[in-house]
Structure 1
Amino acid sequence: MKRNTRPKSVPACASCKKSKVRCEILDDITQECIQKVRCHRCKTLQLQCSYESMDKSIFYTGPAHKTDQVVGVNGEKNHQQQNPVASPSTSRNSSAVVRSKTGQTAVDLECLPRHMWHFHRGSAGQWHYDGIFHYEDSLDWAQPLGAIKQLTNRYLASVVTRPRMLAAATTVSASGIDVLEDILSAEQIKNLLGIFEEKYVPWLNFSLIRTSRHLRANTRSVVAPKLEAAAEDALSRILLHPVPSESLEAIQSLLILALWAPICGGSGDNQRDGHLLLASAISMAKNIRLNEAPDRLQALKDLQSMGHTFDEAQVADTANRTRLWLALTNTDSLLCIGTSRNRSARETASHKNSFPLPVLSNLNIPPSLSEARDTRLELLGDILDATEAGLQVWLDSLDGVKKWYDDVTGSLQRLGHLERLIMPLPVVSDHDNFYFRMLIFIYRVCRLLVTYHAFYTSRMLFIFAGSTPDPTFFEGLIPHSLDILAIWCKDGFHATEGNLLCLMEADPYLLGTSPDIIFQMTSLVAAHHVSFKFFVLNSRLKALQGVSDFMIAKCVGVLNAAAYSEDHPASRSATLIQGLQALWDNRDEMFTTYNPLFTLEDGFAKPTGVYDDQSNMTGSMHDTMKENLQMLYEGAS
């Protein structure tokens, strides 16, 4: 299957090279369109592209891969191999999907991070890379959550053909109805606000919302576009004509819209960017000095401890403002980690201990509902702080291995300390048990992001190494005699397994109320899980033992049950995960091997231990890969 991005051997077009920007080809490279091929930037900006006048044959020469697509449009296997390394087959499908002979629509293997499945482990400290040096992924897997969002949009655009609930009134309310009471009955409004108070407030610590996600399907299809239009009108007024006296309500509204997109708010390139709304909310918050609320609250507490008395309403108002500011900063970090976005409001340490953990010695733990939510707000901030510290650690050379290891380990140790605090809370707390479980889910995703980032930085250093890369390069990455990449690799995989179990145990009704970012994290967990299984298959020539396939299937069922509509983020996540699992289910069609003595039937049908000469076979294969590494790199330099 041809990749959507240009082959690495193809130079950037003249316009992109002059502007020093990334040059991509996002259209399928087929016989029909090859004569008029243009890069995505030139096509979008209506510029003349040098690709139109160059020799088109260069687009048909691509890199060779060990793990590759070998399924054509008709689903038949491509057995044509002219060298030990498999060559990619061609297809007219989008690069996000590939059709298998079983009829399943699988995610294209090329969309998964090649720095994972193109590596395999030999002896301790020896990690072999059988990909192409200086080669870029089709998605920016340096920012895994951002890549997952792009992959979801690509995949769903390729496989989902159902009619969408278009927001016919999203520009303005053409019918003139822009008042909530004219769209919904008083009973419907009361019912929805009750649902929000019970199911959504625990995510936020404040109320005031109008939501249509829980209306019946036939009612939702009628009123959702009108509600969307009314929300757009209100949003425009908030952003363009802010009223100082309504700033707190406006900030809350923007925060809510940043976490939960409208159910008819479009998809793909038409999706609303929640972080832009959040940045506006943070700017408004700073204008009313909301960022000073944590310091004011701490000052009030200090004065109270010295015997001073204050109006309870004043203290309560300051505490509520502090909660809102912490919710903004936490959401800012939550929407930025794992993406290329820059945070807008993360403070240094002013939010620390605004709501210290209560003394958990009473029978009710935490003692009250308010303290339970404050505890969760504080712990989430601590988790995100530790995660951000780990994501800021980069490895630029082997000389910096010790500091790199110490910094990553420090971040993981901070997360480990928080794990000890949060793990018992869903069991021992009398309040918000589900939301404490989802805090554990977020913790595991954050831990996965840190270990993934450590993997990525070390492997990219190798892939983009100098002129003489050595497959034993990773022997320099054994600080304190620890094969740290193997240890962190297992750590990340255990985090994905733990989160799959967490989803299997979740209440679908409550899960459906989760912020949209939770479902992007769910998709990332599944993508990493499948990528790891391909990595093991590359290394051991056999599938990973366990019940992970069953866990994936159960999670898909839970996500589908949690979706309130076809466009619900849970449904989108379930669809992508099914495509990822379909890729794994059809691995015997997707894989070729180096050694002609090792057949597909041997690799997938026979149990472990059948081959007496398996170690010799594996060693021979690794020798072949080393030769191919040298050949491939010399060809790329």
Structure 2
Amino acid sequence: MKRAAGPSSENPTPKRTKTGQACAACRKQKSRCEILDGPAPGEKIRCHRCKVLNITDCSFENPHLIPLPPPTSHVSSTPQTQSTAPPASSGPASDPDNHCSGLSTLAAVASSRSSVEGVSAGQSLSIRPESLPMVPAATTPVWGSVSRVDWTATPVLAFQELVRCPRCEAGVQIPSVERLPDILSPSEISSLLEIFEAKYTPWICGQPGPLEIANSFLDLVRCTVASRHLPPTARATIAPRLHKLTEDVFVREIFNPQPSLDSIKALLILALWTPICGTGAEPRDGRLLITSAVSVAMNLHLQDASKRALSLRAAKEELSSEQQSELSGCIQRWRMWVHLSICESILCLGTGRKPVSYFSPVDQHIFDEALFPESLSAVRDVRLGLMARMFDMVETALKLGLESPEGLGHFFEQINESIYSLEGLSRLFAPLPVITPHDTFYSQMLLIKYHACRLLIMHHALREIRTVHERDVPQMSWFDATTGGHRVSIFWGRMALMSAESILTTFLATSDLSLLSTAPDSTFVQIGFASTWIFVSNFSVHQLGGSKLGGASELLQTMTIQRLNQIAHSPEHAAARCGHVLGALMNAWQRRKLEPQEGGGSCAILDIPYASFQPISNPALAGKEESMNSPRPSQQEPRSVGAGADLFMDDAFWAAFLENLESDTAFDANSVTT
């Protein structure tokens, strides 16, 4: 076949401008070539790869070939939407050099699949490209970036940005070491690996097996995470060195042309657990790390492992020893792919980032979902399969959208069908803590993920209605929309509130605090998301007429804050940071509910079944004096409320909240258990 004729020479197609030429060494290896930071005084400029691999003859040493990056923000030029957020503070946050350090930026460099879900019309994800770095750096003003994140569009991201901000003033210089045995003795390595295997591996449904010490990247990562269990004095000395070595080895592994499954698993672990090292290092974005792991896994074709495993299982003749070994390897690769898919869903849902991985029907068929799993291996496989199916359902539900007010009835049915499907799936994993003696705690924690998924779907559905009605029928209050005899905001708002309270109840009902403290950072974010949703509901019901939510919501929140601080290993721990943010929200709520309400426009009151819409007479007893058996009020008539009252908190609320968060006294470092 002949090549099609090119364009006329009279009007040649302009060639795409190259942003920079790779150095000779990187061109030879066909590797990514970038300059991530400037040279030290008196040092020659080399690209990042040549610097890491200690290649001395980098052609960038020629000053005429140096493609230095422009002195602008590293954020892509996303169109800026109108925002009520205050202008960002100038200063170190806008320094480009501060944005190219740590695991997060390295993961962003290594990942070629970090696609972000587009923002639809009507969304107000307000980001200032000139001042907001891709990943908040250690010098970013504490709590400063959240005022540019829309709580209604990306609620999980909004809370993640709150808890990720570092509490330390400055980083600590740690000398580099070459190997794990340079930091820990063999007995110490074995002890930390045993801790990780016993307490952390079940969270990712890893298969049990003999403990093997290889001093690999995976061993280093597991020891780094498990080092939080060391005594405080030993942890202060050992953990920073482990973290520094992890960062150094991470760079080599991410550029490794032949990565292993252990390296992918190490990235997965780093995405779920932030090392507690006390160095003031920049907290990384787990989404970038897991996207890097997924990208590496797809290059190794892990997504196709289930197809080969099924074909070997379907073979009629007896498998040879080579085929048995191949089948075992395929199942191992398939498990890793499902682990990655679940982890990416957990870290990306509710943040505006679309997961790259997927859970195919073929992956589902390979599961052996026995109703009564007898072995530990079977229990973890069942739990793995059920989690994969659950997050696959949630991703499908979050893709549902409301096009116009006329389509509300169909949208209402679609969302409810998604919720009913989740409820049906919960019948399979809810009995697991009772019917099997294995991993009872970890099976119980599935309920937190389940209710978090329900809450996220409800939040998405309510926001879709609000966005469409404010766009197409602004003269009508969006929470007055009805279909099939249901006021949709009340119907779904009630379900969301029940899911949020169920998350806190499950969290507080757990008696094994030593295991609870090992939860992934995302679990504490889910708890924080649920508690924030209750806070927002309290604020909304209060400003919609000076009423109160009632029930045990406030008491649950207070107990949750205490529990988070109780189980935290240090002030850096995600549990402690979540407790700090929720404590500040509690203080803001206590102040707000004492303020008198002024008259204004009219709107309807949420009819919460057990709420008692009476003026608050004794704030100290709020949340305790009402019982679940309080008389149910009749449907409330529209009341006079202040202008701008809404079920969601907008940028103005979060901006005002953030102004007082840093000076809030809710967080007491001395209360953190070490």
Aligned to 1:75: none
Give the whole-Å Cα distance in 2 for the aligned partners of 1:19 and 1:344.
Answer: 21
Asked if structure 1 preserves the Cα contact closer than 8 Å seen for 2:345 and 2:391, the reply is: yes
Answering whether residue 198 of structure 2 is matched by residue 198 of structure 1, we say: yes
Partner SS, residue 466 of structure 2:
helix
2:576 alignment partner, one of 567, 571, 576: 571
- State the one-letter code of the partner of 1:502: T
- Aligned counterpart, 2:650: none
Which position in structure 2 is the counterpart of 1:309? 319
Structure 1 CA distance, aligned partners of 2:294 and 2:78?
33
**Does 2:230 align with 1:215?**
yes
1:559 is the counterpart of 2:564: yes
1:373 correspondence with 2:380: yes
- Residue in 1 that maps onto 2:336: 324
Match of 1:382 among 389, 395, 411: 389
Q: How far did residue 267 of structure 1 move?
A: 7.1
Report the AA paired with residue 460 of structure 2. H
Equivalent of 1:232 in 247, 250, 271: 247
Structure 2, gaps ≥5 residues long: 1-74, 98-140, 212-218, 602-613, 619-624, 627-632, 647-674
Show structure 1 runs of 5+ residues with no match: 1-15, 29-36, 47-93, 98-109, 112-136, 361-365, 597-601, 609-613, 629-637
Q: Which piece of structure 1 moves more, 413-422 or 480-489? A: 480-489
What letter matches 2:331 in structure 1?
A: A
C-alpha contact (below 8 Å) 2:239/2:276 kept by paired residues: yes
Q: 1:462 to 1:589 in 2, by over 3 A?
A: same
Instruction: Please say if residues 142 and 456 of structure 1, whose CA atoms lie closer than 8 Å, have aligned partners that are also in contact.
Output: yes
CA pair 359-138 structure 1, distance change in 2 beyond 3 A = closer
- In 2, the alpha carbon distance for the partners of 1:436 and 1:618 equals 44
What's 2:513 paired with? 508
Question: Counterpart in 2 of 1:62?
Answer: none
> Structure 1 residues 227 and 469, CA, compared in 2 at 3 Å: closer, same or farther?
same
Q: Return the alpha-carbon distance in structure 1 between the equivalents of residues 645 and 569 of structure 2.
A: 54
Distance 2:362 2:331 in 1: 14
Select which of 410, 416, 424 maps to 2:423. 416
Counterpart amino acid of residue 621 in structure 1 = S
Q: Displacement of 1:557 after TM fit?
A: 2.2
Q: State the partner residue of 2:65.
A: none
Matches within 5 A, 1:323-402: 323-360=335-372, 366-402=373-409
Cα distance in 1 between the residues matched to 2:397 and 2:559: 32
- The 1:322/1:480 distance shift into structure 2, 3 A limit, reads same
**Which whole-Å CA distance do the structure 2 matches of 1:338 and 1:221 have between them?**
34
CA offset digits 1:415-454 (Å, max 9, x no partner):
1111221211122221111111111100100000001100
Q: Which residue, out of 576, 584, 590, partners 1:585?
A: 590
Q: CA deviation at 1:585?
A: 2.1
Residue type at the aligned position of 1:410: E
CA contact (8 A) 2:544 2:639 kept: no
SS of the residue 2:542 aligns to:
helix
Is contact 1:200–1:513 with CA below 8 Å preserved after alignment?
yes
**Paired AA for residue 270 in structure 2:** L
Return the alpha-carbon distance in structure 1 between the equivalents of residues 645 and 359 of structure 2: 51
Q: 2:548 aligns with which of 534, 537, 543?
A: 543
Deviations 1:212-266 (A, max 9, x none): 2211111111111211111111101111234x2x511211111111111222387
Paired with 1:448 and 1:562, the residues of 2 have a C-alpha distance of 25
Distance in 2, matches of 1:486 and 1:332, equals 32
| Amino acid of the structure 1 residue aligned with 2:582 | I
Residue 142 of structure 1 and its aligned partner are, at CA, apart by 0.6
- Percent of aligned pairs sharing the same letter: 28
Of 439, 442, 447 in structure 2, the residue corresponding to residue 435 of structure 1 is: 442
**Cα distance 1:505–1:310, how it changes in 2: closer, same or farther (>3 A)?**
farther
- The yes-or-no answer on 1:469 pairing with 2:446 is no
Asked whether the equivalents of residues 519 and 570 of structure 1 are also in contact (C-alpha less than 8 Å), the reply is: yes
Root-mean-square deviation (CA, aligned residues, Å) is 3.6
User: In structure 2, do the counterparts of structure 1 residues 615 and 396 end up closer, same or farther at CA, with 3 Å as the change threshold?
Assistant: same
- How many Å apart are 1:542 and its aligned residue? 2.3
Matched-pair contact (CA < 8 Å) for 1:167–1:224:
no
Deviation at 1:401, TM superposition (A): 1.4
TM-score (norm 2): 0.65
Q: Highest relative contact order (Cα 8 Å, sep 6+), 1 or 2?
A: 1
Q: Equivalent residue for 1:6? A: none
Partner of 1:63: none
* Matched ranges for 1:262-273 at <5 A: 262-264=275-277, 270-273=282-285
SS of residue in 2 equivalent to 1:139: coil
Q: Is the 8 A contact 2:271 2:290 kept in 1?
A: yes
Cα distance in 2 for partners of 1:535, 1:527 equals 12
Match of 1:518 among 506, 514, 523: 523
Cα drift, residue 149 of structure 1: 1.3
User: Within the alignment, does 1:488 sit opposite 2:486 as a pair?
Assistant: no
1:437–1:341: structure 2 CA closer, same or farther, 3 Å change rule? Answer: same
Relative to 1, partners in 2 of residues 1:554 and 1:290: Cα closer, same or farther, differing over 3 Å? Answer: same
